[in-house]
Amino acid sequence: MNVPMSWLKQYVDIDVDIKTFEDRMTMSGSKVEKIEESGKEITRVVAGKIIEVSSHPNADKLRIMQVEIGGEKPLQIVTAATNVQLGDVVPVALDGATLAKGLVIKSGKLRGEVSEGMFCSVEELGFDEKDIEDAPHNGVYVFNRPITLGSDVKPYFGLGEVVVEYEITSNRPDCFSILGIAREAAATFNKPFHFPEIKVNEVDGDAMGMASVEIKNDKLCPRYAARIIKNVKVGPSPKWLKDRLISAGLRPINNIVDITNYMLLEFGQPMHAFDYDKLAGHSIIVRNAADGEKMKTLFGDEITLDSSMLVIADQEKPVAVAGVMGGEDTKVTDETTTILFECANFNGYSIRQTSKKLGLRSDSSIKYTKGLDPNTITLALERAAQLISEVGAGEVVKGVIDVYPVKREKLTISYDIKWINKFLGTDLPEEEMIGYFKALEFDVNQQAKTVTIPTYRPDVTMMADLAEEVARLYGYDRIMPTLERGKPTIGRKNFEQLVCDDIRSFMSMFGIHGALTYTFESPKVFDKLNLDETSPLRNTLKITNPLGEDFSIMRTTTLNGLLSSLSTNYNRRVEDAALYEIGKIYVKDEDGQLPKEVKKLTMGMYGRKVDFFTLKGVIESLLKKLHVSKTEVTRNSELEFMHPGRCANLTINGVYAGYFGEIHPQTAKNYDLEVKTYVAELDLQVLLDSITQDITFKPLPKYPSTARDIAMLVKEEVLVGAIEKTIKERSGKLLEKVELFDVYQGKQIEDGYKSVAYKLTFRAEDRTLTDEEVQKVMKKVLNGLEMNCGAKLRD
C-alpha cells in the first residue's frame, strides 16, 4: 500500500520527521517497507522567464535567449526549441541539473555561444506527453499557471511527494486504504483523525425509480448500492485529482475512471461505472452465472463463466463479473450520458476463486479478496458522488439505491485489565488501556468493561486481540523481556536423533560429507536410473500444481539426489567425492491416505582410493559402531541401476536393510559420471531397530592365543564368505578371529582355481591352549573346507 504523505496529512496532523514517523508506524504494526520521493531524480530544475530572444550568429536552427530565474543576472541559454517565445515561463535545467533517465546538464558552448542550461520538455521531467494535459507535442513545456521565477518546478507537476509504502498484513483489510493508514497514524501518534467532510450536491430526480437492484445471492453479495449520475461529461480530471493519483503512482485517465481509482485509494472501496442506457431494463441483478454463460470483458476478451461465479447482470445478460471486471457492452464511453455508479460488497473468498479460475485480476478484485467492510459503502458512495459533482463529471441524481440484506453488526467484547496485563507481562493501568481503545475508535463502556469494535476491524474478536492492540500501541519494545518460570522440562534428544548424531560424526570421521538434496524430483529420473516400467519405485505421490516437471513427484528413492550431486562434483573436476544424506522417501498410500515417510541413510562415492570394499568397509564399521550384529551380505543382481556383479543386499536379523555396491555403467553414463561410482541406500528404521543398547563388558583375555595360517586352493566361483562361514561353524568357541590375508590367481595356480589364505586365531578364556587342542580343531576345519568348499590344502 503506497500512501503519499501529503494525502495522509490531510486526515491526521503529523508533526514528526519522516524517520520518526517510519519507526513509530512500523512499531505500531504498519510496517514501512520503503519511502520514496516522486521525481527524486530530478534536481535543479527551476522556472525561468524568457526576457530576450536573439538569433544565433553561427546556426540558423538555434536561438539565444536570456532567461530570468529570480537572480540578479539572467542566464543565457541556447535552444533549438521552436515553440517558445519572448515572455514564456519555462522549466530550466541549471548547470549540474539531473533529469529523467539519468541525464545530466552542464554549462557549455553551443556553436560558439555560451549556454548556461537547458529548457525541459515533460519527458525530460519523467512524464509521458499524455500525463500532462497542456504539454506540447515534442516541445518545451510552457507554464500556464503562475509559478515563482527561480522556484523548483517539481511541486507544480505534483512531484517531490514523499510516498510511504506499507506492508499490510492480511488481518487488516481496512489498512489497504489511505483512510485506514491515516486512522492507524492517528492512533499511533495519539492525534485526532479528521474524516473527510462529505456533502453531496444532488439534483432533482429519483434514482430509485430509474433503476432497480436485486441480489439473488446474499451470501456472496451482502450489499449492493448505487447512484445515478446524469449529464455525464467524460473528460480530463482537474489538476489536484490528477496530482493525487500521480503521487500514488497511478496514471490519470478520465474523470470517471480517476474518481473510481481515487476511491480505491482513499476508502479502499472498489466502484464500477455502468453506462446506464445500455443496461437492459435499467436493472441490476446480482446472481450466479449460468454454466457456460459468456461475456466480453471491457478489454474485449470473451470469457466463459460457470455457476460458481457471481455476476452483475441486467435483464438479459451478465454485464460484469462481480468485483473482478466489467463488461464491454456497458462500459462508459465518450458517448455515455448517464451512469449507474456501483458501490458494492462481495465475498472475498468467492472473488478470489473466480479471479483464479478466469485468470483475471484487477485492482478491484485484489481489494475484494482482502475482505471488505460492507458498512464502508455508505460513506464511500457519498464521497464518490461528492467528487463527481465537484469535478464536474456529471449531476448526481437524488436518492441512493441500497440493498443490504445481510447487515454486519458491531461486535462488543469484554475486557479484563488484569488478564491482559498477565497475558502480556505488563502492569498497565486501566486508564492507559482505555486510552488506546479510544485512540482506535473503539467505544468503551467502562461500567460494563466492554468495548464495541468498528465493523472495519473484523480482526478484533476476543480479549487476546485487545491485548494485541494494547501491546502494539504501548510498544512491543517497552514490554520487559522475562524468562518463563513454569514447571521445568528436560531437554533431550530422542533415540533416533542421537543415533543420527552418531551417524553424522561417524561419516565425518570417514571423510564423507553431509549432503542435502531435493525431496521432489522429475519422473524422468526413473528412466535415468534405467528402472523397469513396472518398478514399484515409479508409483509416486504426485503434486497436482508443481513448479514444472522437475519438481513434480515426491521421491521414492534418495539415489537420484546423491548421484546428481556426485555428478555435479565430477563435472566440476573434483577428483574425490564422498557424500551422505539422511533424508526421507515418500511411499504412496494406495487408499489415498497420507504417505509413509521413510528415512534413508544414503551414501555415494567415487575417487582414486575408492572401490566396492571401501564402501563395504564403511558400512561394516558403521554397523560395528552402532552395535548392530547379526548382519548378512548377499548378492543382489536384480537392481536395474546397479552393477549386477557388484551389488549386495544387507540384511540385519533377517530383515532387508538396503543395498550397496557399484552403480551400473549405463546409469553412471546417464549421470555423466565417467568413473566408477559406489552407492548405498540403507533404511534408517531397520538400523535403529537392530541397535543393541545394552553392552556388557567382557574381561580382557588372561591366557595367550595361538594362531595358525592356512592356504587352500578352491574353484574360483567359491565365495570367501562361504569359506569363512565353514571356518566359523567348524571351529566353535575356541576361534577368536579369522582374517583373510591373501587371494591369489595366476602363476602356479591351476586355471579356474584360486588360492585363498587365512589366519585363524584361537583362544580359551580359562587356560592356555595346547598344541593338540588346536590341532584337533584345525583338522575339523580342514575337513569341513574340503567337504563344503572343495578346498585343497596348499603346502
Considering only residues 27 to 86 of the shown chain, the ones binding other proteins according to CB under 8 A are 27-29, 31
CB-wise, 170 or 307, nearer to other proteins? 170
Binders of other proteins in range 165-224 (CB under 8 A):
169-173
528 is a contact residue toward other proteins (CB under 8 A): no
Residues 21, 24, 25, 30: is their CA dihedral positive or negative? positive
Do residues 347 and 221 lie in contact, with contact meaning Cβ atoms separated by under 8 Å? Answer: yes
Binding mask 741-780 for other proteins (x = CB under 8 A): ----------------------------------------
In the set 193, 404, 520, 753, which binds other proteins (CB under 8 A)?
520
CB-wise, 132 or 515, nearer to other proteins? 515
In angstroms, give the least distance from the CB of 479 to other proteins. Answer: 5
Alpha helix positions (H), 28-107: none
Among the residue ranges 128-136, 500-508, 632-640, 683-691, the one whose residues contact other proteins (CB under 8 A): 500-508
Using a 10 angstrom Cβ sphere, with 0-12 exposed, 13-18 middle and 19 or more buried, the burial of residue 540 is: buried
554 is a contact residue toward other proteins (CB under 8 A): yes
Query: In 100-216, where do the E strands start and end?
Result: 108-110, 113-115, 117-119, 162-167, 202-203, 212-215
In the set 508, 621, 637, 666, which binds other proteins (CB under 8 A)?
508
In angstroms, give the least distance from the CB of 729 to other proteins. Answer: 38
For 327, phi and psi rounded to 5 degrees?
A: -100, 160
In the set 114, 516, 655, 722, which binds other proteins (CB under 8 A)?
516
Instruction: Say how far apart CA 283 and CA 142 lie, in whole Å.
Output: 48
CB-wise, 16 or 516, nearer to other proteins? 516
In angstroms, give the least distance from the CB of 397 to other proteins. Answer: 36
In angstroms, give the least distance from the CB of 595 to other proteins. Answer: 5
DSSP code for 96: E
Binders of other proteins in range 386-445 (CB under 8 A):
422-426
Residue 589, C-beta contacts closer than 8 angstroms, at least 6 positions apart: 595, 596
Helix (H, G, I), strand (E, B) or coil at 652: strand
Residue 101, C-beta contacts closer than 8 angstroms, at least 6 positions apart: none
CB-wise, 124 or 681, nearer to other proteins? 681
For 272, phi and psi rounded to 5 degrees?
A: -145, 135
Alpha helix positions (H), 343-392: 348-358, 363-369, 376-390
Binders of other proteins in range 102-131 (CB under 8 A):
none
In angstroms, give the least distance from the CB of 576 to other proteins. Answer: 8
542 is a contact residue toward other proteins (CB under 8 A): yes
Residue in the block written with cell 456501483: 342
In the set 315, 445, 497, 770, which binds other proteins (CB under 8 A)?
497
Among the residue ranges 9-17, 494-502, 663-671, 762-770, the one whose residues contact other proteins (CB under 8 A): 494-502
Do residues 680 and 603 lie in contact, with contact meaning Cβ atoms separated by under 8 Å? Answer: yes
Rounded to the nearest 10 degrees, what angle do helices 178-189 and 255-266 cross at?
Answer: 30
In angstroms, give the least distance from the CB of 185 to other proteins. Answer: 14
Residue in the block written with cell 540385519: 652
Among the residue ranges 197-205, 273-281, 499-507, 746-754, the one whose residues contact other proteins (CB under 8 A): 499-507
In angstroms, give the least distance from the CB of 75 to other proteins. Answer: 38
Using a 10 angstrom Cβ sphere, with 0-12 exposed, 13-18 middle and 19 or more buried, the burial of residue 129 is: middle
Which of 650, 652, 646, 681 has the alpha carbon at shortest distance from 665?
A: 646
Binders of other proteins in range 228-267 (CB under 8 A):
none
Number of residues this chain uses to bind other proteins (CB under 8 A): 89
CB-wise, 496 or 739, nearer to other proteins? 496
24 is a contact residue toward other proteins (CB under 8 A): no
Helix (H, G, I), strand (E, B) or coil at 115: strand
Instruction: Say how far apart CA 576 and CA 569 lie, in whole Å.
Output: 9
Binding mask 288-327 for other proteins (x = CB under 8 A): ----------------------------------------
Binders of other proteins in range 132-171 (CB under 8 A):
169-171
Instruction: Say how far apart CA 65 and CA 69 lie, in whole Å.
Output: 12
Residue 629, C-beta contacts closer than 8 angstroms, at least 6 positions apart: 623, 690, 692
Count of beta carbons in the 10 Å neighbourhood of residue 592: 7
560 is a contact residue toward other proteins (CB under 8 A): no
Residue in the block written with cell 478484485: 365
Provide the CA 307 distance to its chain's centre, in angstroms. Answer: 31
Among the residue ranges 190-198, 438-446, 508-516, 626-634, the one whose residues contact other proteins (CB under 8 A): 508-516
Among the residue ranges 201-209, 232-240, 276-284, 493-501, the one whose residues contact other proteins (CB under 8 A): 493-501
Binders of other proteins in range 684-743 (CB under 8 A):
none
In sequence order, the β-bridge partners of residue 517 are none
For 664, phi and psi rounded to 5 degrees?
A: -60, 135
Binding mask 357-396 for other proteins (x = CB under 8 A): ------------xxx-------------------------
In the set 493, 627, 630, 776, which binds other proteins (CB under 8 A)?
493
Provide the CA 56 distance to its chain's centre, in angstroms. Answer: 61
CB-wise, 551 or 753, nearer to other proteins? 551
CB-wise, 492 or 698, nearer to other proteins? 492
Binders of other proteins in range 467-486 (CB under 8 A):
467-468, 471-472, 476-477, 479-484, 486
CB-wise, 586 or 659, nearer to other proteins? 586
Do residues 526 and 560 lie in contact, with contact meaning Cβ atoms separated by under 8 Å? Answer: no
Instruction: Say how far apart CA 147 and CA 29 lie, in whole Å.
Output: 40
541 is a contact residue toward other proteins (CB under 8 A): yes
How many Å is the maximal CA-CA distance in the chain? Answer: 131
In angstroms, give the least distance from the CB of 623 to other proteins. Answer: 18
Using alpha carbons only, give the angle 655, 658, 661 rounded to the nearest 5 degrees: 135
Binding mask 573-612 for other proteins (x = CB under 8 A): -x--xxxx---x-x-----x-xx-x---------------
In angstroms, give the least distance from the CB of 568 to other proteins. Answer: 6
Do residues 161 and 6 lie in contact, with contact meaning Cβ atoms separated by under 8 Å? Answer: yes
In the set 80, 114, 464, 743, which binds other proteins (CB under 8 A)?
464
In angstroms, give the least distance from the CB of 579 to other proteins. Answer: 6
513 is a contact residue toward other proteins (CB under 8 A): yes
Which of 718, 738, 751 has the alpha carbon at shortest distance from 781?
A: 738
In angstroms, give the least distance from the CB of 265 to other proteins. Answer: 20
Amino acid found at 358: L
